[in-house]
Amino acid sequence: MSVLESRAPRTTRLPLTLVRAGDAPHRAGKAVDARIHCSVCNLREVCLPGGLPGAEQALFDGLVYTRKRVKRGESLYRVGTAFDSLHAVRSGFFKSRMVLADGRDQVTGFHMAGEVLGMDGICTEFHTTDIVALEDSEVCVIPYARLAEPGLQRQLQKVMSRELVRDQGVMMLLGTMRAEERLAAFLLNLSQRFVARGYAPDEFHLRMTRDEIGSYLGLSLETVSRLFSRFHDGGLIAVQQKHIRILDIPALKAVLGREAN
């Protein structure tokens, strides 16, 4: 018998659907309301205005006047596309991907609600990655040219800086960690990000395949699958396909930090 009991909770609770109760629902198929106010968005604290005092958050209110839906499997933008806007994930889930000259590709990130995409395009005004939706998603379009206010620019720099720090973490992961540690770090990171968005830290639905996880972590999909099984058998997590329940967060943390053996 699987560690995950029944299948019922899977359909009734989808932590990755990040529009919560209290959210103004979108009228699907209808043009999005032209007046979109960051200051009343429930994602504001994990998104671009995050951390600013309420008064300053209002500076963002005039900024976003378009939202864009991206269906599962479609891309928000591609390598070489002209850059003119940043995008904030409103709902859904994305991956970013780079392709090497010889065709090998790598997933360079997974992106959930509130995260800002496209900052790689600022330097050359062309995007350097593909962004692909892993489920039906929606983004807020933030025209870069309208981010003129020094306060807004400062805030953007903070977000970019956070991204630089995040990248350093990925470099550590890819450069120094063994497979087991990488997957543990990955799961803990996802968990943290769910918590920051008001979700349970210990149960979620992966939107990406083993292949995509492996690509991101510099591992083969088989290794990822084997590690999930090993963590499952060790009682650290309960896995059933894309359903993950973390049973022992301290033990997962202990996987990091214990170098050889």
Partner DNA sequence: CGTACCTTTGATAGAGTTCAAGAACGGTGG
Partner DNA sequence: CCACCGTTCTTGAACTCTATCAAAGGTACG
Q: Are strands 243-246 and 116-117 parallel, antiparallel or unpaired?
A: unpaired
Among 5, 33, 84, 167, binds its own copies (CB under 8 A): 167
Amino acid at 111: H
CB of 120 to its own copies, least distance (A): 5
Q: Using CA atoms, how far apart are residues 48 and 205, in angstroms rounded to an integer?
A: 25
53 lines the binding site for its own copies (CB under 8 A): no
CB 128 within 8 A of CB 135: no
259 lines the binding site for its own copies (CB under 8 A): yes
Question: Among its own copies, DNA, none, what does residue 242 contact (CB within 5–8 Å per kind)?
Answer: DNA
In angstroms, the first-to-last Cα distance of the chain is 30
Among 139, 173, 239, 255, binds DNA (CB under 7 A): 239
245 lines the binding site for DNA (CB under 7 A): no
Tell me whether residue 98 or residue 179 sits nearer to DNA (CB atom): 179
Tell me whether residue 69 or residue 158 sits nearer to DNA (CB atom): 69
CB of 32 to DNA, least distance (A): 24
Buried b (16+ CB within 10 A) or exposed e, 172-207: ebeeebebbbbbbbbbbebbebbeebebebbbbbbb
Binding track, positions 175-214, relative to DNA; x by CB under 7 A: ---xxx-------------------------x--xxx--x
Q: Which long-range contacts (CB under 8 A, 24 or more apart) does 232-240 make?
A: 232/3, 237/187, 238/2, 238/3, 238/4, 239/3, 239/4, 240/2, 240/3, 240/4
Q: Using CA atoms, how far apart are residues 19 and 10, in angstroms rounded to an integer?
A: 17
| Residue 250, token pair as written in the block | 């301290």
Question: Among DNA, its own copies, none, what does residue 260 contact (CB within 5–8 Å per kind)?
Answer: DNA
11-30: which residues touch DNA (CB under 7 A)?
A: none
Contact partners, residue 256, CB within 8 Å, separation at least 6? 177, 181, 184, 185, 188
192-251: which residues touch its own copies (CB under 8 A)?
A: 215-218
47 lines the binding site for its own copies (CB under 8 A): no
CB of 104 to DNA, least distance (A): 10
Residues that bind its own copies (CB under 8 A): 98, 100-102, 104-106, 108, 119-124, 128-129, 148, 150, 153-154, 156-165, 167-168, 170-172, 174-176, 215-218, 256-259
